Amino acid sequence: MAQQGQGGIDPAVLDDIINRLLEFRQARPAKQVQLMESEIRQLCAVSREIFLRQPNLLELEAPIKICGDIHGQYSDLLRLFEYGGFPPNANYLFLGDYVDRGRQSLETICLLLAYKIKYPENFFLLRGNHECASINRIYGFYDECKRRFNVRLWKTFTDCFNCLPVAALIDDKILCMHGGLSPDLTHLDQIRNIPRPTDVPDSGLLCDLLWSDPGRDVKGWGMNDRGVSYTFGSDKVAEFLTKHDMDLVCRAHQVVEDGYEFFADRQLVTIFSAPNYCGEFDNAGAMMSVDESLMCSFQILKPAERKSRFGSTMDKTVEDKRLALKLFKLERNCELDIVVSC
């Protein structure tokens, strides 16, 4: 059963905010949702306190649905909820990068924060590299806040983002973060002990958790073409999982054609949940569902037809890809089998 907790916000006000954000489903695409600055500030303040009350390394239980980058693609966020179930009908973990690039970062982050406040023990948000002032100052969120409200509101979001948790562990077997592994990560307590609130540094553990990438031609640790953090080889994934008795690393941070992509003999999966990213890529978006037995399945969102109203192509743009990912707590070297059902 979902646990509700509105904290320092009137439950009726919170429900009204959520209802206005969800009314977008009946509106024309890209229509802005009318929210007051005071309401948004309250969402930031209350969710900030919840983030700080909960650990930096969240310890979660299946069943849960995991989503990757959203990047202000609000229509696609709603499509994910249409298919996976609107909270509290399903538990969710988002891996970061809610803002920038897309046209509706404010609607996106406000709905996510509102759900976090309403269902604090069932709805979880991790920090991405774009939940950082030096990045979203450049890639769109600052400009959206300034255009629709003011710079002070952007600074309020920055203070909230600085309190987001950075990793999650599902049933002790699936480690989730936005970016990837770090050469500095030797014990999970290092993640738990990262202080908050904090900006994202230019190097070190926190930077790597939000910025690093797997590299197919890399052995060990390599240079990252982004100019930040590292790339890591399949050997480092296997070494990490063996040392910590885990089965899977789940991360986001990179556009992948099918919305999800495996690495390191299916010991790592990248999930990206913004289809037709920026209107420039022909990628699908994906969401990974983990059931109580730790069997994982992927729901694929193909790019919607641009001229259609929201939801009109829903049945045609969703696929199931069920992955028999046997992550039993005492069984390693998992056998994987993919069954496609459209």
Which region among 123-132, 140-149, 203-212, 302-311 has the lowest average model confidence (pLDDT)?
A: 302-311
pLDDT of residue 326: 41
Residue 340: pLDDT over 60 = no
DSSP 97-161: --SSSSS-HHHHHHHHHHHHHHSTTTEEE---TTSSHHHHTTSSHHHHHHHHS-HHHHHHHHHHH
Under the banding of pLDDT at 50, 70 and 90, the label for residue 2 is: low
**Greater pLDDT, 31 or 294:** 294
pLDDT at 26 over 60: yes
Q: List the beta bridge partners of residue 167.
A: 57, 177
Res. 324 pLDDT band, cuts 50 70 90: very low
- Residue 214 confidence (pLDDT): 99
> Quick one: what percent of the chain has pLDDT higher than 70?
85
For residues 64-85, average pLDDT: 97
Rounded Cα–Cα distance for residues 299 and 275 (Å) = 12
Mean pLDDT (the chain, rounded): 90
Q: Is the pLDDT of residue 158 over 50?
A: yes
Average pLDDT score over residue span 290-299: 96
Average pLDDT estimate for 175-194: 99
Which tens digit of pLDDT belongs to each residue from 50-59? 999 999 999 9
Query: Of residues 130, 178, 244, 253, which has the active-site annotation?
Result: 130
Ordered by where they begin, the domains of the chain are 11-341 (3.60.21.10)
- Look at residue 289 in the predicted model and tell me its pLDDT: 97
pLDDT value for 329: 32
Instruction: List alpha helices for the chain, DSSP H.
Output: 11-22, 37-53, 74-84, 105-118, 133-136, 141-148, 151-161, 189-192, 205-211, 234-244
Q: Which of 166-170, 239-243, 299-303, 307-311 has the lowest mean pLDDT?
A: 307-311
State the Cα–Cα distance between residues 185 and 159, nearest whole angstrom. 26
Q: How confident is the model at residue 328 (pLDDT cuts 50, 70, 90)?
A: very low
Q: Which two tokens stand for residue 254?
A: 């990179």
What pTM value is reported for the model? 0.90
pLDDT at 184: 98
Confidence at residue 305, expressed as pLDDT on a 0 to 100 scale: 56
pLDDT band at 24 (very low <50, low <70, confident <90, very high): confident
Q: What is the mean pLDDT of residues 275-291?
A: 95
DSSP assignment of 60-79 equals E-SSEEEE-B-TT-HHHHHH
Q: Which two tokens stand for residue 319?
A: 């696929």
**Residue 303's pLDDT is what?**
80
pLDDT at 330: 25
Which range is least confidently modeled, 144-148, 172-176, 276-280? Answer: 276-280
Instruction: Tell me if residue 130 is catalytic.
Output: yes
List pLDDT tens digits, range 230-250. 999 999 999 999 999 999 999
Which pLDDT score, from 0 to 100, does residue 307 have?
41
Indicate the pLDDT class of residue 152, thresholds 50, 70 and 90.
very high
Residue 290 has pLDDT above 50, yes or no: yes
